[in-house]
Amino acid sequence: MTHHHDDAGAQRARGFSTDAIHAGQDLDEVFGAVVPPLHFSTTFAPDGIGNLRNGYDYGRAGNPTRTALQTQLAAVEGGGHAFSFGSGLAAEDALIRAVMRPGQRIVMGNDAYGGSYRLISRIHGDWGIANTPLDLSDHERVAAELDGDDATLLWVETPSNPLMTVVDVPKLAEIAHARGALLVVDNTFATPYLQKPLTLGADIVVHSTTKYIGGHSDVVGGAVVLGSDDAAAELAEKVAFQQFAVGAVSGPLDAYLTTRGLKTLGVRMDRHCSNAQTIAEHLVDHPGVERVLYPGLPDHPGHELAKTQMSGFGGMVSLQLVGGEPAARKVAEATRLFVLAESLGGIESLMNYPHEMTHASVRGTELAVPENLLRLSVGIEDVTDLIDDLDKALAGL
């Protein structure tokens, strides 16, 4: 198939890693630099009053390095517009402000990321935006909640953090759109390499690019990605205004590091997925493990659904331990290669105890996480070493 550079449709038909490496990465016209230069300047001189050069005037409004990342993000998600923010929560906040108004309500999964729930309930709740957490696999209940005039946004995470629940994006899109609601999918866990929510019917994708997209645990960031139709363009104007007027933008170095990470997302995710699958299968029969939560296991309730909307099962594995909270705490503090730390998605393996760490903000709510649960962010190390590390930690129970 011949690709013409002026044909956007043909461009989007390129493979994932080709887009990840080339989208937004035009050769520098002055020196021919293969890696585009990093623009630190906060201000840009016009060619006379009011005649901006390529639209740039001030760093909050726009920066060429950030534009390059936004072009790359839109390409890999199969979207038409992308916006890069200083963190995943800043991206979500801008989106909520762009699409919601006081008196309206967000319907969301009851196992959403604790930080998203805290933002929606404790920050936006004070400004009159309500929320209804529920089981997103109960399609009748979702439809009933969205039937209310005030319900205008359906918030989905799949797989969810940290229970690894998989929900039916095309079905939820159909339910939301029949009721005039927008569907947003947090695609942080799956990444655009494994799942493209916009092609499954979602209106909006959000990311913590801190995780797999950055991929090296060295840059915090977030993104909002929209489709390419007229409705998406209208929505993009609103998000762009939030980004400009509120200003939670990613700085140029952060944007550059995120772009560099995204270029290798495909090869990294292949290893994350294979390592996670091997570890999940190894731990299934371990006497100290009550349950392994990983969509790649045939007995995972979302396994068949994941096969239809994901091209791989991801690098996140959650475990529930037989000995309850004491066992979980002991194992979390006993591993050596799996470092006990917040966050996920980096090349190194991380261990997290959500009850006290990432999801402490939702203890005592409907979103509370089981006390015996550990969340593993499986890195790209040699899997035999990772298994040995987990075996030794579990042997101490």
**Residues involved in catalysis:** 60, 113, 186, 211
Q: What does residue 69 show for φ and ψ, rounded to 5 degrees?
A: -65, -45
Instruction: Report residue 336 as tokens.
Output: 């050596």
Q: Do 293 and 367 touch, CB atoms closer than 8 A?
A: no
DSSP state of 27: P
Q: Do 173 and 202 touch, CB atoms closer than 8 A?
A: yes
C-alpha to C-alpha distance for 183 and 177, rounded to whole angstroms: 8
C-alpha to C-alpha distance for 43 and 257, rounded to whole angstroms: 21
Q: Do 384 and 349 touch, CB atoms closer than 8 A?
A: no
Q: Do 387 and 349 touch, CB atoms closer than 8 A?
A: no
C-alpha to C-alpha distance for 343 and 353, rounded to whole angstroms: 11
C-alpha to C-alpha distance for 302 and 305, rounded to whole angstroms: 5
Cis amide leading into 354 (omega within 30): no
> Side by side, which strands form the sheet with 182-186?
81-85, 222-226, 204-208, 182-186, 151-157, 105-109, 130-134
